[in-house]
Structure 1
């Protein structure tokens, strides 16, 4: 669509999910028209707030085409995917069908409707356990799960669509998204989450299960694994920047989206205790198979290519997450 694509509507698949709903808000705040396509299997209707919501599946080419045509869609942000690493190893077909084949159906329907700009929700897990940190975009692609492989496959599929059609894409390789909106309106549902921040909040606020720290004997300053935690609002903004980049006729690229700062598990727990005024109850368990010792992004390429940098750090992540989860507990009473 070239330079005019940013004047049209953005289709956000999976826009009722955690990162998707924050991105929808960022797009609206940037003045963009948005339409959300979500099955609501894992998304929440209320998270979409006031954006138009089409309930359906990315496999439904007719529905995608109709949505694109009726709403004047010119760009796509594609979140809709399953993302549980353990489940992907137990039921791989679910991930091949939805994450890979579903993405092909979606892209075909979008291309048929004249939508050529795609921002794809990828993952730093495509690199597996990195040999060198910080991780650059030139790091080897070495998935260590079916989930990670599904993300790597879609990156390659999008690359080849770029060779065989007018499609251009930005694959955003997220590091560890966390936190909630600064107004406390939307955040991560901790019901099924296996991420550290919501699990720590759950242990702190629900008193139903102590957190397990998987290993404290790693070769790191405090013995626990190090990860790059990125505020979900920063991550949402990266999608807006990526769409702008494509609107300027940017070439197909994959971009690491992280802060460049590594935080250990114990640093996250200590920051949580500082914010909450109460320690997170935890036990130390054995190391978990496949856990990299340390991984964090080199954000240079994101800054140079998209003009994006992270604005917030671990403190803001924990503060916004804590506010959000306290509100959810109070609402449930």
Structure 2
């Protein structure tokens, strides 16, 4: 999300101009999202846009500041499809009690929420609303369909973590689909166009190189993750050398002990130090007996989620979160 976009929306609202929130900026209301839940359709976003007033400018102003500060924050939406039901819903014996009313009112609402549980909205919200607003930070909304009459949606104001898949192998196909599903940005690199197709990697950036020796022309960020998954492991050394040279946060490589020994020798011959070699996670992924491409993808993406979690949250915050689970 661009800060300038949010500032423009806020400015238009402050001066009384109508706004038209776009699906490109708020993809939680895309046609794809509407397939899973018709309440989060482009038409719903248009309805919400038409209902915004100058009072709602504070939400977008706070969101713009969050982008500037690099805050973990979201713009969220309460989407109401049955006003009377949304207000009258009550908790059951399992859920924590949030009072005798459900949602504060039967109207759509746009709001800001960050990971520190700060909420900014133009209207009052109920204790139940606040519970669901906070869960936007587990995004998308963790309990968006817990109560009838309304749903919740959100868009993050921070960038996704990028995952490079070096090699368009069968394991990479499964890993790409699962990584995208849990919110990673995915780029797949290979030297054979027949493997690097849209059908195999829908929604991913696909980069064709003439040779894995040409990886040096590409640049990764320090926050990126690299999974070395080349077909038949034939170009794992080139992938490992490139990833280490980029200084990325995480590098993982598939393979058994014997294969890793040969890759080690080739990487060292290419100038990699022993310390750099030890920084590569081998074998890639969490260890729980995964063998098939789909099972291996689960182990890989589970590890990526853990890497992202540790990247975004301090040790103190992780300990607090873990303690709350027991």
TM-score range, shorter chain: 0.3 to 0.5
Q: What TM-score results when the alignment is normalised by the length of structure 1?
A: 0.36
Higher relative contact order (CA 8 A, sep 6+): 1
Q: What TM-score results when the alignment is normalised by the length of structure 2?
A: 0.37
Task: State which structure, 1 or 2, has the greater radius of gyration over its C-alpha atoms.
Answer: 2
